[in-house]
Amino acid sequence: MSQTDFSSLKLQPELLKNLSTLGYQQMTPIQQQSLPPILKGQDVIAQGQTGSGKTAAFGLGLLEKLNVKRFRIQSLVLCPTRELADQVAKEIRRLGRGIHNIKVLTLCGGSAFGPQVGSLEHGAHIIVGTPGRIEDHLGKGNLDLSNVNLLVLDEADRMLEMGFQAALDNIIERISPERQTLMFSATFAEQIKSVAKRIMKQPVMVQVESSHDNSTIQQHLFKANDNAHRLTVLRLLLQQYQPESAVVFCNTKIETQEVADELSRYGFSVMALHGDLEQRDRDQTLVRFVNKSISVLVATDVAARGLDIESLDAVINYQIARDLEVHVHRIGRTGRAGNKGLALTIITEKESFKLAKLEDFLEQRIDAEKLPPINLLDKPTYQPQMATLQIDGGKKQKLRPGDILGALTGQDGITGKQVGKIQLFPNKAYVAVNREVAQYALRKITEGQLKGRNFRARII
């Protein structure tokens, strides 16, 4: 019997028999690494993309742990969107169909509240839901989590991106600290690590796809004829690689603004980030860049310090940084889990001495590459997939990410997959939506209600 067979696991006979009828024989890499510690009752952090088999990994874990005769909520699975929650609940029901009388209940925003209250009154073993709606039921006293012994955070990075940190904290406070906690995430961002540190006990780390390291960052060098030609080279590189999110580093504030203005004039989706910006403008710039509704951020090193931009497709050095350690730090900001990052640097002949110093510092040779074809400049500039809605209400108006998500994805709404990052400020909220549904999403907000009130909104 192979160690990759499900039959090698200590699972109930009913579960193993059902897996066989479903055609599940061999475990995927994430299942093979995470299921043994899950079945031992350990906390687990697992990195896995959609389609890696993570739902079956935690689904089998919670079904094995379940005491069907005890009609209490024993497992809670939190998901970022209604679509994912529905999919997860369906998979858990399929995996558990060999065990009689298992009750799985889905609680998500965008669905009628009343029927959910009725379903809760009849009880359940497993709850799958979105943080906003779970928090609503907790607030109204409809939901008792005191018997939960297994908590699953599915697509944890996406939940944090969408602004559910406060809701997650509130929910987790209601669950016994003696529980087992499983966290599944596509990335190991710093935010994920800090949350794990607070809510998990000596978690086992399972990483199917390794995050980027310096060897996954491709460094490319391009020569400009002179300073005037440098901007043309930058435009060519952006049109050639079309990065969804790229930071262009400049060495001065004045140059940062000038480069951003020029790129904007040529039709690029771009904003500048430097020390002369008002806080309000800085906040809005970062919101739009982080939520992918701006493709290019032109920034100084000082302005970009502390910026959470782990999922950058490309870093473009408009010039080599004056401090070589800063230059290396710039390059290290690119690359996603499982993907290669791009580091592009533009130099002129006069800057060859800087290149020589950089090569010595990195202990590697960097050869200049041929420029992309000039006719790329005749093509329309590429545009981001997302757009940002600004809502004139925020934390002080008691708005929460779940309210906004529910308003957008409720009756005749857009899908959860078309909603990106949701960010709340004291009197403003920002939500990213797919560009093609932006006008429809705007009408859903302005013609509908949030917290029983009308709010003004606009596309920025």
* Model pLDDT, residue 337: 44
* Model pLDDT, residue 223: 93
How is the beta sheet containing 246-250 ordered, strand by strand?
270-273, 296-300, 246-250, 314-317, 341-348, 217-224, 368-369
* Model pLDDT, residue 214: 46
* Model pLDDT, residue 135: 94
Three-state SS annotation for the chain? CCCCEHHHCCCCHHHHHHHHHCCCCECCHHHHHHHHHHHCCCCEEEECCCCCCHHHHHHHHHHHHCCCCCCCCCEEEECCCHHHHHHHHHHHHHHCCCCCCCCEEEECCCCCHHHHHHHHHCCCCEEEECHHHHHHHHHCCCCCCCCCCEEEECCHHHHHHCCCHHHHHHHHHCCCCCCEEEEEECCCCHHHHHHHHHHCCCCEEEECCCCCCHHHEEEEEEEECCHHHHHHHHHHHHHHHCCCCEEEEECCHHHHHHHHHHHHHCCCCEEEECCCCCHHHHHHHHHHHHCCCCCEEEEEHHHHCCCCCCCECEEEECCCCCCHHHHHHHHCCECCCCCCEEEEEEEEHHHHHHHHHHHHHHCCCCCEECCCCHHHHHCCCCCCCEEEEEECCCHHHCCCHHHHHHHHHCCCCCCHHHEEEEEECCCCEEEEEEHHHHHHHHHHHHHCCECCECCCEEEC
* Model pLDDT, residue 408: 93
| Cβ atoms of 94 and 22 closer than 8 Å | yes
pLDDT along the chain (460 residues), means of 10: 78 91 87 94 85 87 93 94 86 91 89 89 94 94 95 89 88 94 83 87 81 57 92 96 92 93 96 83 87 92 60 87 78 60 89 86 83 94 94 91 90 90 91 94 90 90
What is the dotted CATH code of the domain comprising 214-378?
3.40.50.300
| Cβ atoms of 218 and 367 closer than 8 Å | no
Same fold, 6-207 and 214-378: yes
Distance in angstroms (rounded) separating the CA atoms of residues 448 and 453: 8
Q: Which two tokens stand for residue 317?
A: 């050095």
- Angle, vertex CA 123, rays to CA 86 and CA 15, nearest 5: 60
Q: What are the structural domain ranges in the chain?
A: 6-207, 214-378, 386-459
Pairing of strands 341-348, 217-224: parallel
Fold category of 6-207 in CATH: Rossmann fold (3.40.50)
Q: Which two tokens stand for residue 61?
A: 């874990």
What is the dotted CATH code of the domain comprising 386-459?
3.30.70.330
